[in-house]
Amino acid sequence: MRSIAAHRLHLGLVASLLLTNAHASDVPSPFSLSGFGTVGAVRTDKDNRMFRSSTEQVSGAGTDFDSSVDSVLGVQASLILSNALDLTVQSVVRKGVADSYSPQLTWGFLRFQAMPEIVVRAGRMRTPFFMYSDSLNLNYATPWVRPPVEVYSLNPFADLNGVDALYRAPIGATDLELHVYGGQSSLDIRNGGGKLQAVRGVKAALSISSLTLQAGYARSNLSIHWGDPMFTSLNNHLIASGNDAIARDLSGDDSKGTFLSAGFQYDSDRLLMIGEYARRTVDRYTVSAAGWYFTAGYRFNSLTPYMTVARQTQTAPVTTKQSGIAPIDSLLSLFNAMRNKSQDSMAIGARWDVTRNVAIKTQLERIHPGPGGLGIFVNDNFRDVVDPGGPVHVFSISADFVF
């Protein structure tokens, strides 16, 4: 008797589920699934200058076409829980830290519409330090093959675990967005790790018809523990020779970092201009640097040719201290140079909107690494960092899509 009742209950549940499902086509589903991606290939004209799209990648493209540098796939699911509450999860696969392809949780947050103008989110988000920081994998949304590395390599910490609030208000014909956020971010590096703690930042964007102006500022505590053999050897030598004060500049848990950015986008029917200046300042453990880029493009129907100039300049090395012991100081200058990503570049390219969901892009860059480092490039012979040499030409072709 009992089992029959249970059986009936079960049937009833299935039936009601089926009915709910059948009814679902009459109203929009609360669930949505979407995605984006890039299939790209890059080559350079020098095998001893391997081009990377981020400093986390360990290997890059040489004189053979390489598809690992820019290719990316992202999938996002959203579920509306109520009028004021929804859940979003996004996962991305691309070559990242230490050339690993393991899927990353790039977004995973609950979004609460606290008031008509205020949205509060909590969970995994992206560090929004610079203008395009929260959409670095989404190449479809920009004219470039990839966001300029001169600015975007200034922050390798991509994830933000915390809370943020977005306030959106029209002021006459302008649209203001204020974004405040706080949290923590971790980064794996080979045999070591980095951490941003007590991140707190603010970002403001003003849109006036085709023009958007944006500025942001963030502070945080910074820890970095390097783990590569070169660091370990240097650190051992410093401590053995009584230079603990220098060792404390290279690695530890006691630095502050600030991230500052100011930029604009002008996007009319035809003319497209984007510019940004960004700066990272730290007390120790890595270099302080500033970067900027300027892009101008023109739309001829579905074809948008563009040009970009960009530069990153080091403003302070990891440490300026010296031990007075020649072999140690030589290692120290090498350690500084390996973290110096200074470079300048000029690029021409074009975006072709093939259909409404697909854009094909091509870009040719002339990059001058240095002074004082290899820029975004890597080379097996790491002593090359003190002798970056002449320009490297980088040719890229990619297809971006959204679905």
Partner 1 sequence: MRPLRVLLLLVALLASSPIRAEILIVTSSRSGPIELTRDQAEKLYLGRSSTFSDGTPASLVDLPNGQVRDEFYLKLTGKNPAQIQAYWSRLVFTGRALPPKEARSLAEARQWLTDTPNLIGYLDRNEPTTGMRILLRLP
Report d(CA 80, CA 88) in Å as an integer.
Answer: 9
Of 118 and 346, which CB lies nearer to partner 1 in the complex structure? 118
Helix, strand, coil abundance in the chain, percent, nearest 5: 20, 50, 30
Q: How many CA atoms lie within 13 A of 216 on its CB side?
A: 31
Of 34 and 67, which CB lies nearer to partner 1 in the complex structure? 34
Of 142 and 396, which CB lies nearer to partner 1 in the complex structure? 142
Q: Is 12 helix (H, G, I), strand (E, B) or coil?
A: helix
Tokens read off for 301? 């129907």
Of 172 and 327, which CB lies nearer to partner 1 in the complex structure? 172
Taking the complex as a whole, the smallest distance from the CB of residue 384 to partner 1 amounts, in Å, to 37
Of 76 and 223, which CB lies nearer to partner 1 in the complex structure? 76
Taking the complex as a whole, the smallest distance from the CB of residue 34 to partner 1 amounts, in Å, to 6
Tokens read off for 15? 């039936």
Taking the complex as a whole, the smallest distance from the CB of residue 323 to partner 1 amounts, in Å, to 46
Taking the complex as a whole, the smallest distance from the CB of residue 104 to partner 1 amounts, in Å, to 14
Residues in the chain: 403
Taking the complex as a whole, the smallest distance from the CB of residue 188 to partner 1 amounts, in Å, to 24
Name the residue among 282, 230, 278, 281 with its Cα closest to residue 253.
Answer: 282
Q: How many CA atoms lie within 13 A of 277 on its CB side?
A: 1
For residue 308, give every residue at least 6 positions away whose Cβ sits within 8 Å of its Cβ, in sequence order, or none: 144, 148, 293, 294, 295, 345, 346, 347, 349
Of 265 and 312, which CB lies nearer to partner 1 in the complex structure? 265
Taking the complex as a whole, the smallest distance from the CB of residue 88 to partner 1 amounts, in Å, to 5
Taking the complex as a whole, the smallest distance from the CB of residue 152 to partner 1 amounts, in Å, to 15
Please give the residue ranges that form the binding site for partner 1 (CB under 8 A): 25-29, 32, 34, 36, 74, 76, 78, 80, 83-84, 86, 88, 90, 107, 109, 111, 113, 116, 119, 121, 125-126, 134-135, 138, 140-142, 166, 168, 170, 175, 267, 269, 302, 353, 356-357, 359, 402
Of 136 and 234, which CB lies nearer to partner 1 in the complex structure? 136
Name the residue among 44, 48, 47, 45 with its Cα closest to residue 384.
Answer: 48
CA-to-CA separations, 384 to 94, 161, 389, in angstroms, rounded: 28, 37, 9
Residue pair 145/177 in contact (Cβ under 8 Å)? The answer is no
